Copies of this chain bind each other. A is one copy, B any other.
Amino acid sequence: MSAYQNLHSAFRKIAYYQHCLTILEWDQEVMMPGGGAEERANAIAEMSALEHSAMNQPEIQTWLDVCAEADLTADEAANVREMRRAWQNSNLMPEELVREQAVANALCQQQWTTLRPQNDWAGFSTSFTRVVELAREQARIRQQALNTPTPYDAMLGLYSCGDSASLIDETFAQLKAILPEMINTVCERQNKTTRVNVRGEFPVAQQQQLSHNIAATLGFDFNAGRLDISAHPFSTGNPGDQRITTRYRTDDFLDALFGTVHETGHASYEAGLPKAWRGQPLGLARNMSIHESQSLFFEKHIGTTDAFCALLAKQVQTLFSADVSLSADELKQAVCWVEPGLIRVSADELSYPLHIIVRHEIESALINGDMEVSDIPDAWNQKMQQYLGLNTQGNNKDGCMQDVHWPSGAFGYFPSYTLGAVNAAQLRAAMETKIGDLNALIAANEIAQITQWLHDNIWQWGSRLESQELMQRATGKPTNAAALITHFERQYGL
């Protein structure tokens, strides 16, 4: 076998191990009774170790080096590029540091679960300081090996490879410059209107039917996927088998429903990846910023059109009891209501980027060594005041302690949420110049045209192009905040 063939079959095997892990973890969140927890945790650890050692067998490096000189097709060369990337991510770190991080991050995340509700920053910061120290070491090693401009850039590569810190800074600067005022304008205007009450009693069975119908309308194929319930909505799966979850509150149907719409976006991307490259790194989704652009395209673009709200109003009328009657306009008002608050996960579309910018500014300074853990609460409060006019002094549980990302060591993840929003708006603008107005297409029952465009321009490419090449090809330019700003202006009549 050639070096390329060896790599091909080694990565195919690794993908089967990942298939097992995907199902073990999905089952753990969605199906497994509590009694199975201990044995399952051990089985997952065993499979992860197996995957790790398959990726770190010494032959991989040899084969990668031979392939660098080999005569490969462009697709094969791109596959090798992605193999090397995956191999580096797994292989760069000394085993000792990997183990230390696993222990420190697990401990900190575990303490966070109890210390956050107690608002105990002092207790938390001890174990969190260790997490940051080790993450800085990780960033330093990655920076040296990958030759990135900053340590933080090296961390970004784990989630949004191809999107540099300078691109993010530029994009976020554009948003920071206009969002605070935009939010004020929208809130002042909202004050003059009456907010419709969309709360009520919504039985879970009907909500499940609603989520099922809407997912199907958006193209989710239930012969190649499932929709289940879990504590936190997520999307996972294997080729031909996408698994999304949501959770239901009986007093509010919009929460679960838009969770489903969001996860359907993620699942559609996965389902549309190139079949010819199944089980190879080239066949995987590009990165988190592109992934989130697909879920946010479904949630924030398709999901907020008049036509989609009309379709939704009809479903709501059929499924829930006669006294629930909401017009398309009323639903749209609820979905687009702007109201700055302390919590990221319940933030509206305009506030959300500012939540991310607070986190990005702090975590990049932290990783680059320009800020210490003890500075975080004040920095957080100061930035929240400045961007959203909200005070978090003494309220760290709803401030810098609110997210699981940092205690679990995931520095560099946050920007992908807002890069996703930016990419989604940019893709919508490009799509509309090609196939026409999104709202009109949905009104004309042509959602399939929309998903076809996304398939042709994003999904079918897998990891063939770098993220900015992909955006350039699909939209004519790299990631840029202009389209998102235009979208906000149009959405809120500014």
Chain A contacts to B: CB under 8 angstroms? 13, 16-17, 19-20, 23-24, 27, 31-40, 42-43, 46-47, 50, 221-226, 238-241, 278-279
List 7 A–B pairs whose Cβ atoms lie within 8 Å, in order of A's numbering. Answer: A20-B43, A23-B27, A33-B225, A34-B224, A35-B221, A39-B241, A40-B238
Chain B residues within 8 Å of A38, by CB: 239-240
Chain B residues within 8 Å of A279, by CB: 39
Chain B residues within 8 Å of A39, by CB: 19, 238-241, 278-279
Q: How far is the CB of A19 from chain B (nearest CB, A)?
A: 4
CA distance A31 to B20 in the complex (A): 15
Q: Contacts A241-B32, A241-B33 hold; do A43 and B19 have CB atoms under 8 A apart?
A: yes
CA distance A17 to B20 in the complex (A): 10
A42: which of B16, B31, B40, B221 is its contact (CB, 8 Å)? B16
**Whose C-beta in chain B lies nearest to the C-beta of A47?**
B20
Chain B residues within 8 Å of A13, by CB: 46
Chain B residues within 8 Å of A40, by CB: 19, 238, 241
Chain B residues within 8 Å of A37, by CB: 240
Chain B residues within 8 Å of A20, by CB: 20, 24, 43, 47
CA distance A36 to B23 in the complex (A): 12
Q: How far is the CB of A444 from chain B (nearest CB, A)?
A: 28
A35: which of B23, B27, B224 is its contact (CB, 8 Å)? B224
Q: How far is the CB of A216 from chain B (nearest CB, A)?
A: 13
CA distance A221 to B32 in the complex (A): 13
Chain B residues within 8 Å of A24, by CB: 20, 23
Q: Which 7 pairs from chain A and chain B are nearest by CB? A: A36-B241, A35-B224, A35-B240, A16-B46, A19-B43, A39-B239, A16-B43
Chain B residues within 8 Å of A35, by CB: 221, 223-225, 240-241
Point out which of A221, A239, A241 has the most chain B C-beta atoms below 10 A from its C-beta.
A241
CA distance A223 to B224 in the complex (A): 30
Q: How far is the CB of A206 from chain B (nearest CB, A)?
A: 15
Chain B residues within 8 Å of A43, by CB: 16, 19-20, 238
Q: Contacts A24-B23, A39-B239 hold; do A34 and B223 have CB atoms under 8 A apart?
A: yes
Q: How far is the CB of A38 from chain B (nearest CB, A)?
A: 6
**Whose C-beta in chain B lies nearest to the C-beta of A32?**
B241
CA distance A39 to B270 in the complex (A): 14
Docked-complex contact A224 and B33, CB < 8 angstroms: yes
**Extra A-B contacts (5), CB below 8 Å, given A20-B43, A23-B24, A31-B31:** A20-B20, A33-B222, A35-B240, A39-B238, A43-B238
Chain B residues within 8 Å of A50, by CB: 50
Chain B residues within 8 Å of A34, by CB: 223-224
**Whose C-beta in chain B lies nearest to the C-beta of A46?**
B16
CA distance A407 to B35 in the complex (A): 37
